[in-house]
A = this chain, B = another copy of it.
Amino acid sequence: MTSQSVGTVETRHLDLPEPVRLDCGRELAGVRVAYETYGTLSPARDNVILVCHALSGDAHAAGLSESPAEASTRDGFAAEARDGAAGRALGWWDGMIGPGKAFDTDEFFVVSTNVLGGCKGTTGPSSIDPATGAPYGADFPVVTVADMVRTQRAFLAELGIERLAAVAGGSLGGMQALEWAVLYPDRVDAVVAIASTHALHPQGVAWNSIARDAIMRDPAWQEGRYYGTGRAPEAGMGVARMVGHITYLSAVALEDKFARRLQFADDIRYTITEPEFEIESYLRHQAGSFVRRFDANTYLYLSRALTYFDLARQHGGSLATALKDVSARTLLIAFSSDWLYPPVASTQIEDALRALDKPVEYHLIEAPYGHDCFLLEEARQIPIIRRFLAEGGAA
């Protein structure tokens, strides 16, 4: 823990008084939101930054969690880069949130929530359905990124917050940030969307589809009703996670980190079942640690939401129409080696906003680590984000 840390934090929970109306037509009552806050809310309540997490994240974005037993939500390379000691539950964006950091808690009141559909304290498929007293499972409504944003909006209203100085996130978190600017144009001053997109490309849709199929084809999934059965689709979710993990990294990063090094000595052992290459062992380790900390149904629901997200489709097929009422200044950051959320996705948003005379800036960071750059390349993002937020005027 450095002097720049927000310190020890506690994830809190808030129950929304009203049902959330969902895109699918259903209403979800009794929604609980898990959240953390860092920094101090200004008397004018005008210094709020909402940070939004990605597929496997949670509300614990910065600092050290109270319970040292809580597993870190930082994944893969990112986890290795930051979490040296076992049991340290450092927030997934700790390098970005804190005094003097990108989201400067000396200036801003940073709020982080677990998304609707999540499994880390906010209502999701593993939560108890008040109508039945049993976990929702597959009866949980299919939620969208817009539904996540509506839930955040209702949650912030309970905190007395009506306006955001900024909303920020990477990947699925960036989708939420963009959706905020579209759904609530009068309530968002600035958007920071990192390694994100207005609509995932078909190969990304395919990877997500394969990952979900891996879970749903596991007999232990039991049509989503595995809670309390003593079985969970860990085998399938492990495969899903391995697929995801490789899509988050670049081929170059894998070459640099693993090459074709073998597990044992310098020769093969002629085995089908055992890991033989270091990369094989690494993937199994990643799969094993992920299934212990994440709910398979939440993976399905959030994966589905991020494939559905499509600002143009949601607005008559036109990205320009989708963005026409945006009043927020927009900062887009992409990474050269990110093939899951490639730079072109960000430049399409930049072009659309620019054509509408909206304030937007786009930064391409040359870095080799693929989509994971958004968690790894913090040092190069921090000055960009700090300057962008400062230009919005002091909070």
Contact = CB atoms under 8 A, between A and B. Distances in A.
B217 A272 contact: no
A27 to B, nearest CB: 14
Contact of A210 (B23, B201, B246, B277): B246
Interface in A54-105: none
A207 B251 contact: no
A255 to B, nearest CB: 6
A136 to B, nearest CB: 12
B279 A206 contact: yes
A209 B301 contact: no
A276 to B, nearest CB: 8
A272 B206 contact: no
A167 interface: no
A118 to B, nearest CB: 15
A122 to B, nearest CB: 18
B271 A142 contact: yes
Contact of A251 (B141, B201, B279, B287): B201
Nearest to A209: B280
Most B-side CB within 10 Å, residue of A217, A254, A255, A266? A217
5 contacts: A142-B272, A206-B246, A212-B272, A218-B235, A267-B313
Interface of A: 23-24, 138, 141-142, 199-203, 205-207, 209-210, 212-214, 216-219, 224, 235-236, 238-239, 242-243, 246, 251, 254-255, 258-260, 266-268, 270-273, 275-277, 279-280, 283-284, 287, 300-301, 304, 307-308, 310, 313, 339
